[in-house]
Chains A and B, each alone.
Chain A
Amino acid sequence: MKFNSVIIGGGLAGLTAGITLQKAGKSTAIISTGQNALHFFSGSFESMEEAPQRIVDLFAEAGIGLHYAPGVRLMPMGTFKKATLSLDDVSLFPDPKIGHKALIVSFTGYHDFFCDFLADGLEKQGIQCRVNMLNLPELEMLEKSPSEMRSVQIARAMDHRWETIVRELRILIRDEDIVVLPQVFGLNDSSILSRIRQSIPAQVVFVGTLPPSVPGIRTQILLKRRYEVLGGTYLIGDQVTGAHVYDNVIHSVVTQNLGNHFLEADNFILATGGFFSKGLKSNPFDISEPIFGLDVEQAEDRNDWYNPEFMREQPYMKYGVATDPTLHAIAGGEPIKNLFAIGSILGGTRTDMGMGGGLALRSALAAADQIIKQAEQ
């Protein structure tokens, strides 16, 4: 199969590039080894210093509501973190004193949402808290399973039964001005969030849970759907195992599933992520990029890959492939003419500012723009 661009990696960066290219009439294919880090998405894209209208529009066209409001958000551990560009799920506030009285609601038997930590965090801001655990017959089936009462399964039940929650909350609420709920709503239908908000006489703050992230999965589903509606080919559960490169130009790639049916393209985009997604491979001796053998910026001595203090910034999380200023990936010191690298595979991810969502978005647009422009020349 031949495309204008083949994108290796189907996460946030890959999908953003794919959507942008498809919209400009370029045929693309995305290859993804399984699902991606959007499944652990907190809901905020870090490192966005200015309102990116283009990104807001791109997401809106996919049916995903984003808002940009520099401020703080309430985190699952009861702490507050700076955030700017976020999904509509996430409430952003100018400062941590987000209200006067809060009702924190969760479900009996659900261990991945931390009501006590939230109450403590809010009380430190002078907000009186009340915690209530709902016992819903809809979740009875999940309670029977020792391990599977997870956010996604609750969300599936809630997609059909969100009115039950609203009913219960309206009975429970007294004079609270804040209601805190876990992010287990709107897995398949994001309008549920606004409908819940409209039905509750208080500000509803949805706070994250242990993975998987329901807003993250919804974002992934909607971005992928948008990509496919625009004509993109999304190959899931596949992996690029090799490439045909001549004269520093990539001709085609080989995948595990398609075997000798190579994917040819004029342009290639590497969006394979960091260590978790195996975009970078490591062993006791070095860190490498497994598909093209690209140059990886890393410390020589393995001891320097880590900071012995867990909570501090970790050097290895900033490692990535070397590129030239136009995001062309570099191998053996030479930029490859038609290979871009975007997202967390890039070195220099500011992990103190998050998982690299902002970097993924910006680099994806930069690479896609270049491809579109070069075709016009």
Chain B
Amino acid sequence: MSINEFDVIIIGGGITGAGTMRDCAMRGLKTLLIERSDIATGATGRNHGLLHSGARYAVNDPESAEECIKENMILRRIASHCVDETDGLFISLPEDDLAYQQTFVEACRKAGISAEIIDPELAKRLEPSVNPDITGAVRVPDGSVDPFRLCAANMLDAKLHGGQVRLHTTVTGFIKEGDTIRGVHTRNLVTGEERDFYAPVTVNAGGIWGHDIAALAGVNVGMFPAKGALLVFAHRVNNMVINRCRKPSNADILVPGDTVCIIGTTSTRIPFEECDNVAVTPDEVNLLITEGAKMTPSLSSTRILRAYAGVRPLVSADDDPSGRNISRGIVCLDHETRDGLKGFITITGGKLMTYRLMAEIATDAVCRKLAIEKKCETSETPLPGSEEGSYEAVARKIWEKPSMAQKAAAARMGSHAHKIMTRDRLDEALICECEEVSLAEIKVAIERLNASTLTDLRRRTRIGMGTCQGEFCACRAAGLLAKAHGCIEKEREDLKDFLQERWKGNFPIGWGDTLREAEYTQWVYKHVLGL
């Protein structure tokens, strides 16, 4: 095989693509993943970060619920450094029908989800931020998951098994021979280089953009973009996931994650043109705060960090163009049987936390096409970083008396935190003070984790995710990136892009301390630094 030939090409660097790449690589396939931007820039990077117990779906969609709880348990084992085992509560407020709780609990049990009815007073002790007027509470094994870490860990494992990743590369067309896809034409968006890659099977894991990728291949996959808006609060108000025990609705989940908590979400159909530039509307902001405050009253007076939105790829269950019939589960389309197009598979639908199952299904399909019989081992093998215990144990093992930045790195990288070990004391300098990110960690992200812009760094190290939203760390990190890739003008533009992204998330909630912070950021960048 030449260097441009692979067993399988995967299009899309979100969690689905990354997971599929890992599974394929672990089964011995020579794998190439192509992603037009950076990892996790689609729905993977803009969701709630919820490790569902599946309870939410138990009543209306028991199949999804069963899938969820199985994958929940698997991810706790294989992705321990990406998962925060917080447990969750389904609370009933006075206006909620307490009878639903019974239906809910029975459905959970049927789906294999542990659902324990607890006394509201106990619930308040377990989770002090919860509305003191709750009339009922059910405890479930919800958790939170960091999608960036999960995606990065999957890709890393794939690479360790020989897989290759090409970021900032877009598919410009398919190489077709009659009714068979033989490969892809690509262009590198940074260098402009055009290159062709060949494989007997190509997997379309492009999320909502999979619609256009399929069209490029000549097939139609009915997809409907559904926007979901969320708000990030400035600190971690709750320690358990809090859900409303009622028919699933808008803005009724509050998820704690790392140093923040997130309230979500909504669902609005939007046109394809908006997918690359989603914005949060004032009505959505209002709804999120109002509904969130019902579950956790203190949200009414908690500083909000930013507002963001992601786009779900809703897949049509049939060919009806109105998309009234949406498939709720995982959709794996073998285009040979469906459309007469050989060598092409689309894997879509599902949710972040069932990615591993989606990947297994897709990889099984790939292996069938290649007539390879290899078992899936992704549910048993820990991801890189998750091989050892808690991050506290990891930090103490590596450093004995870890500094704050070392502790934070262990929490982010798991056992791979040893990569930031350094003999140079200067490497311990903090670049991001809000999230405790040291120079050593930034260097590892640039040199070993393909970070080439500030947003890439943000995804991998959390710089800019704290209260100041990049006031200081952005230009400090810009200096480091400039050193790495050598182009200062590009870095000035990168800095402006980064600030623009932060601002996009700030002005929908631009009041109070957020507005004060915005004013300060304006001063620093325009008048102190002269950007």
Using CB atoms and an 8 Å cutoff, list the residues of chain A in contact with chain B: 37, 40, 42, 46, 75-81, 108-109, 111-112, 114, 116-117, 119-121, 143-144, 146-147, 149, 208, 210-211, 213, 274-276, 278, 282-284, 302-303, 305-306, 308-311, 314, 316-317, 351, 354-355
Cβ–Cβ < 8 Å partners of A309 in chain B: 500, 503
Contact yes or no, A211 B528, CB < 8 A:
yes
Cβ–Cβ < 8 Å partners of B528 in chain A: 40, 42, 76, 208, 210-211, 213
Contact yes or no, A275 B519, CB < 8 A:
yes
Contact yes or no, B499 A42, CB < 8 A:
no
Contact yes or no, B507 A79, CB < 8 A:
no
Q: How far is the CB of A196 from chain B (nearest CB, A)?
A: 22
Question: Can you list 14 pairs linking A and B with CB atoms under 8 Å apart?
Answer: A40-B523, A42-B527, A79-B531, A116-B488, A117-B479, A276-B516, A282-B512, A283-B512, A284-B511, A305-B507, A310-B496, A310-B502, A311-B531, A355-B523
Q: How far is the CB of B327 from chain A (nearest CB, A)?
A: 35
Cβ–Cβ < 8 Å partners of B478 in chain A: 114
Pairs of residues from A and B, 5 with the lowest C-beta to C-beta distance, nearest first: A75-B530, A120-B488, A310-B503, A306-B507, A109-B426
Contact yes or no, A147 B500, CB < 8 A:
no
Contact yes or no, B510 A143, CB < 8 A:
no
Cβ–Cβ < 8 Å partners of B475 in chain A: 77, 114, 210
Contact yes or no, A116 B482, CB < 8 A:
yes
Contact yes or no, B489 A120, CB < 8 A:
yes
Interface flag for B118 (CB, 8 Å): no
**Residue from the set B476, B491, B518, B519 with the largest chain A CB neighbour count within 10 Å:** B519
Q: How far is the CB of A308 from chain B (nearest CB, A)?
A: 7
Contact yes or no, A210 B512, CB < 8 A:
no
Contact yes or no, B496 A311, CB < 8 A:
yes
Given the complex of chains A and B, what is the CA–CA distance between A308 and B504 in angstroms? Answer: 7
Contact yes or no, A75 B529, CB < 8 A:
yes
Using CB atoms and an 8 Å cutoff, list the residues of chain B in contact with chain A: 282, 403-405, 425-426, 428-431, 433, 438-439, 472, 475-476, 478-479, 482-483, 488-489, 491-492, 496, 499-500, 502-504, 507, 510-512, 515-516, 518-520, 522-524, 526-531
Q: How far is the CB of B507 from chain A (nearest CB, A)?
A: 4
Given the complex of chains A and B, what is the CA–CA distance between A83 and B405 in angstroms? Answer: 40
Contact yes or no, B522 A77, CB < 8 A:
no
Q: How far is the CB of A276 from chain B (nearest CB, A)?
A: 5
Q: Which of B404, B489, B519 contacts A274, CB < 8 Å?
A: B519
Contact yes or no, A81 B479, CB < 8 A:
no
**Main SS of chain B's interface residues?**
helix
**Residue from the set B405, B433, B504, B510 with the largest chain A CB neighbour count within 10 Å:** B510
Contact yes or no, B520 A108, CB < 8 A:
no
Q: How far is the CB of A84 from chain B (nearest CB, A)?
A: 14
| Known contacts A42-B527, A111-B476, A116-B483: A275-B515 contact under CB 8 Å | yes
Using CB atoms, name the residue of chain B closest to A306. Answer: B507
Q: Which of A143, A146, A149 contacts B405, CB < 8 Å?
A: A146
Contact yes or no, A303 B529, CB < 8 A:
no
| Known contacts A109-B426, A144-B425, A282-B512: A117-B499 contact under CB 8 Å | no
Q: How far is the CB of B372 from chain A (nearest CB, A)?
A: 50
Given the complex of chains A and B, what is the CA–CA distance between A144 and B6 in angstroms? Answer: 50
| Known contacts A76-B529, A79-B531: A111-B479 contact under CB 8 Å | yes
Given the complex of chains A and B, what is the CA–CA distance between A213 and B403 in angstroms? Answer: 28
